[in-house]
Amino acid sequence: MAKKIVYVDEPTCIGCTLCTQVCPKVFEMNDDGKSYAKTQDDTEENIQQAIDSCPVNCIIWKQ
């Protein structure tokens, strides 16, 4: 099975920064105050924790 890739649906992100606190190796705020996945460099569990912390559910796995 192909590795899952995580990405942020930027138009939906409200810029709360929670994901960057839960999983700072992967998520970073860009200049527009939106989060993006700068790497995929963490465990699936930690990334999933960030996904679960997002109040607007805009962090998404892509197969």
Backbone angles phi, psi at 32, to 5 degrees: -90, 5
Cα–chain-centroid distance for residue 7?
Answer: 6
Rank residues 1 and 55 by Cβ distance to ligand SF4 and give the closer one.
55
Rank residues 1 and 7 by Cβ distance to ligand SF4 and give the closer one.
7
Alpha-carbon distance of 22 to 32, in angstroms, equals 20
Which member of 4, 24, 30, 56 binds ligand SF4 (CB under 6 A)?
Answer: 56
User: Residue 60 in 3-state DSSP?
Assistant: strand
Which member of 7, 14, 32, 44 binds ligand SF4 (CB under 6 A)?
Answer: 14
Binding site for ligand SF4 (CB under 6 A): 8, 13-19, 35, 53-56, 58-59
